[in-house]
Amino acid sequence: MLLYLRLLKESFAFAMNALRNNMLRTFLSLLGVTVGIFSIIAVLAAVDSLDRKIKSDMSSVDKNTMYLKRFSFGPSEIPRWKREQFPDVSYDEYQYLKGSVKSAQDMAFQIFTKNETVKYNDQSVSSINMVPVSFEFSNIQSVKIEHGRFYNEAESNSGSGVAVIGYEIAQKLFGNENPLEKKIRVYGRKLTVIGVIEKQGAGTFGQSNDTSIFFPVNFLRKMYGDHNDFMTPVIVIKPFPGEDAEAVKAEVTQKLRAYRGIKNGEIDNFMIDILAGFTELIDQMIGMMNKVGWGISFFSLLVGGFGIANIMFVSVKERTNLIGIQKALGAKNKFILFQFLFEAVILSVIGGIVGMLLVWGITILLTKVFEFEFVLGLGNVIIGTGLAMAIGLVSGILPAISASRLDPVEAIRSGM
């Protein structure tokens, strides 16, 4: 054990000596390893950060939550022209399903609509995500209220002019002023602020609760009715805990087919998407991004491997005389082999560490610039270190073998 520790110490000293004496040559040779490790770890860190953000954003929603509407979030086997003929889900269907589907814990009626400009006195904010939805939405998706409350069943059913606003909207419209009970103007009407949502940060898919306003869906229905090009109604369904999502979907399908009078043999004229299927699609995309990252980085790692091999072959040539002396004094082939292998690994790890430090610095910079937390996890550091060690081993094996097989007499003679 002491022998190997001594060997490691000597190899480290030789590696540092190579860096000092041939700094430019060593730097250029290690650049490939640095770029390769930087590329793969940067991709892995970015994908991991994105994955973490997605899971954080979706942690407030049950994966079995489903969306009933006339279109599909993903690809569909039904031709587009056929899907365009499907009718929108209606408020009456929402009320019917809410009373008849026994496996659903909660249902909410929501309308997807266009962004609007919101005003308060002489202040205004544009491109606000309007979320007209019934009161059950707060039971389906956790809406964390910092001040005030979410609207209740009576306010929802009557279409009261109340609103729960996002953190960023509150800051821009009211500053340090208390926004509760203040009246904001949108759609040419006034809404009374009854709640402010906790700060969420940038949303993964563009929209964030920070720039959203929740208000009773019937407020919008009373103004514009149920059939407008800028309004797409959706029924959000949350099954009871432990219920099989597919079984709930089947019950909803059966009930709505009966309500709409769809005959046997006719296709459903509506779509039901389960959130779990969407998360699986995201996982597949993230897996594909990881594979692309590995593929791009492979060529940089290959170049880095050639660079390490070049350093080691030069090192063997420069130290031929020393190798001969070591062998003449009794050093075994195994000792010489491990000496050069350790040196190759140390050089490669140094290049890898530089690459990971660059990634770490960039993650800090990007986190400060954008409202998105980029993280270099311990797992990625371990992967980077392991890759660097593997490159060093593979690249240094041939030079190490050639050094260990040198004849001591010839080695001393060639160095004289």
Q: Are 205 and 150 found together in one domain?
A: yes
- Range ranked top by mean pLDDT from 175-184, 321-330, 375-384: 175-184
Q: Are 121 and 210 found together in one domain?
A: yes
pLDDT 10s digits, 375-408: 777 888 888 888 888 888 888 888 878 877 777 7
Write a three-state SS string for the chain: CHHHHHHHHHHHHHHHHHHHHCHHHHHHHHHHHHHHHHHHHHHHHHHHHHHHHHHHHHCCECCCCEEEECCCCCCCCCCHHHHCCCCCCCHHHHHHHHHHCCCEEEEEEEEEECCEEEEECCEEEEEEEEEEECCCHHHHECCCEEEECCCCHHHHHHCCCEEEECHHHHHHHHCCCCCCCCEEEECCEEEEEEEEECCCCCCCCCCCHHHEEEECHHHHHHHHCCCCCCEEEEEEEEECCCCCHHHHHHHHHHHHHHHHCCCCCCCCCCEEEEHHHHHHHHHHHHHHHHHHHHHHHHHHHHHHHHHHHHHHHHHHHHCHHHHHHHHHCCCCHHHHHHHHHHHHHHHHHHHHHHHHHHHHHHHHHHHHHCCCCCCCCHHHHHHHHHHHHHHHHHHHHHHHHHHHCCCHHHHHHHHC
Nearest C-alpha neighbor of 96 from the set 237, 264, 247, 265: 237
Mean pLDDT of the chain: 81
Q: Are 123 and 254 found together in one domain?
A: yes
Which of 220, 245, 269 is the C-terminal boundary of a domain? 269
Residue 73, in any domain of the structure: no
Give the residue-averaged pLDDT of 270-274: 87
Give the pLDDT score at 341.
Answer: 78
Give the pLDDT score at 61.
Answer: 62
Residue 81, in any domain of the structure: no
Q: What are the angstrom distances between the C-alpha of 336 and each of 8, 166, 306, 391, 414?
A: 12, 67, 21, 19, 18
pLDDT band at 172 (very low <50, low <70, confident <90, very high): very high
Which of 269, 293, 317 is the C-terminal boundary of a domain? 269
Residue 176, in any domain of the structure: yes
Which of 224, 246, 269 is the C-terminal boundary of a domain? 269
Q: Are 18 and 105 found together in one domain?
A: no
Give the residue-averaged pLDDT of 130-135: 94
Nearest C-alpha neighbor of 135 from the set 107, 112, 94, 161: 107
Q: Are 349 and 234 found together in one domain?
A: no
Q: Residue 218 belongs to what domain range? A: 87-269
Q: Are 110 and 237 found together in one domain?
A: yes
Residue 77, in any domain of the structure: no
pLDDT at position 136 over 90: yes
- Range ranked top by mean pLDDT from 19-33, 170-184, 364-378: 170-184
pLDDT at position 142 over 90: no
Give the residue-averaged pLDDT of 309-333: 74
Give the pLDDT score at 415.
Answer: 52
Range name among 88-97, 330-339, 392-401 with the lowest pLDDT average: 330-339
pLDDT at position 206 over 60: no
Q: Are 98 and 203 found together in one domain?
A: yes
Give the pLDDT score at 347.
Answer: 79
User: How many domains does the chain contain in total?
Assistant: 2
Q: Are 163 and 126 found together in one domain?
A: yes
pLDDT at position 315 over 60: yes
pLDDT band at 299 (very low <50, low <70, confident <90, very high): confident
